[in-house]
Structure 1
């Protein structure tokens, strides 16, 4: 019940709630929970990652500009690209790393 746990934790959270949904030898699925206005600070990933919005709306910021993503939108995050995320609404996202 990872997603339910994230939603419950968001009630009192002041920053995004992050939990691992599945972890394999060469892959991982991470769930990110946001309340409207929360920001995941700029960072980089060292592995191929796909961001999928399961619910809500976010802005994805990178050196290429801003992408507004809505429910069920997805995009590939390039390895070593600085990026950040801001929630425009309460949101749940998956990060799929392979």
Structure 2
């Protein structure tokens, strides 16, 4: 059994999204992304499918030339290889589910990209 609290020790950073691995199972990796209003995750993609759930707040989720307005309670499944980006419209908490094969460091690397 694995247990995590997505709200535990929640902090925001004005310069970049903060990534926390909540836990790993034999088939998924559960990650919390804390995005302060105005922070961005630049366009990126993964080789594997992902699931994105907005736990708190609201984001603009850019995908395939469209901007989706995702707010608390929305959940989205995205195939691998699809470029996407995120912009926090307010302080937001996002649950990201990766397959076990995906690399958590990839998410951390995307959140550390500096926007000019």
Give TM-score scaled by structure 1 length: 0.87
Distance 1:41 1:15 in 2: 10
Number of matched residues? 95
Distance 1:28 1:13 in 2: 25
CA shift digits 1:16-71 (9 cap, x unpaired): 00111111232111100011000011111122211000000001001141100010
Q: Does 1:59 align with 2:64?
A: no
RMSD: 1.5
In structure 1, stretches of 5+ residues that fail to align are none
2:14–2:39 Cα contact (<8 Å) kept: no
Indicate the residue corresponding to 2:45 in structure 1.
44
